[in-house]
Amino acid sequence: MSRIKLISLSCPDCGGEMEVSASEKTAKCPYCGHGVLIERGEEHPRKPPAEKPRRAAKKPFRKGPLIAAAVIAGLFILSFLVNPEGRALLFPKTLDPFAGLQVSFSGVSGEGTLTLRHDGRDGLGDVRFTPSKERGLSNGDTVVVTAERMPGFKWVPAEKTYTVSGLTALLPSLDALPTAESEKLRGNSAILLDRAWQELSDAGTKVTWETEPYARFLLQADTADARHGNLLMDAYVTVVTKEDGSRQTFWQAVCYPDVMLRGDGTAAVDYAGASLENWSLGYLHGYAPSSALYGWETAGEMEAEFSGYRSYRLTDRTTA
């Protein structure tokens, strides 16, 4: 049996050791794949004219750790997908938390309060909402409400701005007085005036009278020491006829303090607090001094007094 002569070589490219048959003219490095030319009678291959720098032998690539890591990651993700809570964290549900939020304001403007209530739709009954302000609200104020984050949900939007409205406030103008309340107020004024003239007649001074609406005036508080927030003056003109047939005309007014406008559009009027606002007829024109009735002799005189009311300013006027 013949033996094959082997020679040991070093790869000129990577330096790796290799054994080849002495009869072979070429060889290929098993590490880097570099081709080597072998000449007979030489123990070492002829080097190429320009030597390349040696590189370290490449180590075999091991796939085991990478596969193990991928399996662990896959199991972790699978556990999240199987678990509803984990799935919710990975894929949160996009919802508008304010769709079921009921926002209401109550109280008097300047002292109003905010109430929040969720109808529980989409399982959001436990979500917490934080308003920027809850008390001391006035009509026209803005309140920003923020929805607290919950696992499994993504809020769109995360906050919402609301404008305060519907709080009870002082009557801003005479036009804002509801028609039904206006008629009720006029009927009450007529009763009060008629009652005053009747008391005068019952006191011994026989007179007859005819009363007609004249105008209305709204006075708003102008200073901090004003007793009321506003005064609504319901003015009338009254023609009085004495026993001797002589006639006199007077202008009178019934005062209603703190007339309020509720959020639902109705008015709140203190009818029990109404009073007559005018000059004494008893002392000026010979009527019984026991009478509680007063009056102005001209409309201009009455309106001038309203315009100069202490602690108030005249802000609105309408004809009857």
Task: Find, among 274, 224, 271, the residue nearest to 252 by Cα.
Answer: 274
Token readout for 302 is 């009455």
Q: Say which residue, 278 or 314, is predicted with more confidence.
A: 314
- The structure's pTM equals 0.61
What are the residues whose beta carbons fall under 8 Å from the beta carbon of 218, sequence distance 6 or more?
171, 173, 174, 230, 231, 232, 233, 314, 315, 316, 317
The answer to whether the beta carbons of residues 19 and 27 sit under 8 Å apart is no
Return the biggest CA–CA distance within the chain. Answer: 171
**pLDDT tens digits for 267-301?**
999 999 999 886 455 444 555 544 445 578 899 99
**pLDDT tens digits for 91-102?**
678 999 999 999
**pLDDT tens digits for 237-267?**
999 888 888 888 989 999 999 999 998 889 9
Q: What is the mean pLDDT of residues 107-136?
A: 90
